Amino acid sequence: MAHETGVEQGAEVSAFANTGTVLDRILEARRAEVEHRKKVLPETALKYGVKAATPVRDFAVALSRDGLNVIAELKPASPTRGVLRENFDVAALAGSLESAGAAALSVLTEGEFFRGSLKNLRDARKSAQKLPALRKDFVFDPWQVWESRANDADSFLLIVAALQGEQLRELMALGRDLGMEPLVEVHTGGELETALKAGARIIGVNNRDLKTLAVRPETSRELIERIPEECIAVSESGLGTNEELRTLRDAGFDGFLIGEHLMLSPDPAVALYHLLNGGAGTAKE
């Protein structure tokens, strides 16, 4: 668990506002799409879907095991790197990553910039026999939380910098009502303080700067001392060696979200096995 210490986000506007970055365009596109989908598929229909969804797998428990808990991310493309994997068989990848030792899955569901989909989420979750699946997307509306559970998500991402006022508390509370503990992502000390004040239990420290998209691994090391022991701490972005994971584990991180390193590897399962075992041996079949 993270080390125990004490605990600024504008209430009126998102940190992405008026920055002119690709992230602005992603959020703008997601808001338009969600408004359209809400008209096509009302919340009432999603609530029926939640009743038919498979039982929730405990995301927090999966990240609380001893050892190196990797959230293996299934990401077909990214705004910075373009297409990451042409042959993207999400079911096969999910099954092989589970066999290689993943603690959980993260599945991109944003379509325009990341080529993700809710179908990928469902297929990955079905293929993995036991792993919980995180919905990786830009979630800002309660409708999306209902949509996540109706599509078998076990958790979902909340980006502090993209939320305003009481949105974070509201979305966390709804997720918990549906049995999903969200991963709350921060990038700065001010965002971490906001997340903790809102009652976040799983804190993701993203080493990627949302404004420049540059990766700065020092971010995790700088913020870990401020994450309370009772929280689950996850380091995200820019990780690619067993040594890095072990160093961050010793510093207090419980889990590691790894996507591009795996997706760019010829065999993601072998790459994951080497991350977990220091490069020795071969991945399990």
Q: Which residues contact 205 (CB under 8 A, 6 or more apart)?
A: 185, 186, 187, 192, 219, 220, 223, 224, 227, 233, 234, 235, 236
Pairwise pLDDT comparison (136 vs 25), residue with the higher score: 136
Which residue type occupies 93?
A: L
Per-residue pLDDT tens digits for 225-253: 999 999 999 999 999 999 999 999 999 99
Assess whether 136 carries a catalytic annotation: yes
Residue 16: its pLDDT value, please? 37
Give the contacts of 50 (CB within 8 A, at least 6 positions apart).
146, 149, 150, 178
**For domain 22-277, which architecture applies?**
Alpha-Beta Barrel (3.20)
> Which pLDDT value is given to residue 279?
62
> What's the pLDDT at 67?
93
Q: Is the pLDDT of residue 39 over 60?
A: yes
- pLDDT (0 to 100) of residue 217: 83
At 20 the pLDDT is 56
Known active-site residue 197? no
Any catalytic annotation for residue 120? no
**Contacts of 10 by beta carbon, 8 Å cutoff, 6+ apart:** 164
Among residues 73, 147, 181, 260, the one annotated as catalytic is: 73
pLDDT at position 194 is 96
Task: Give the mean pLDDT of 157-172.
Answer: 93
Q: Residue 181 in contact with residue 200, Cβ under 8 Å? A: no
CA-based nearest residue to 256, from 102, 79, 61, 110: 102
Catalytic-role residue among 206, 207, 220, 235: 206
CA distances for 182 relative to 40, 153, 172, 280, angstroms: 26, 10, 6, 34
Catalytic residue among 136, 151, 191, 235: 136
Residue 130 annotated as catalytic: no
Q: How far apart are CA 21 and CA 139, in angstroms?
A: 18
The predicted pLDDT at position 18 comes to 40
- Active-site residue among 14, 69, 75, 148? 75
Q: Which of 110, 147, 181, 185 is catalytic?
A: 185
Catalytic-residue membership of 236: yes
259: pLDDT confidence band, cut at 50, 70 and 90?
Answer: very high
- Residue 191 annotated among the catalytic residues of the structure: no
12 is catalytic: no
pLDDT band at 214 (very low <50, low <70, confident <90, very high): confident
Distances in whole angstroms, Cα of residue 219 to Cα of each of 204, 275, 277: 11, 21, 25
Q: Average pLDDT of 191-203?
A: 97
The residue from 110, 147, 191, 236 that is catalytic is 236
Greater pLDDT, 279 or 235: 235
pLDDT computed for residue 9 by the predictor: 32
pLDDT of residue 13: 32
Active-site option among 98, 147, 237, 260:
237
What pLDDT score does 61 carry? 98
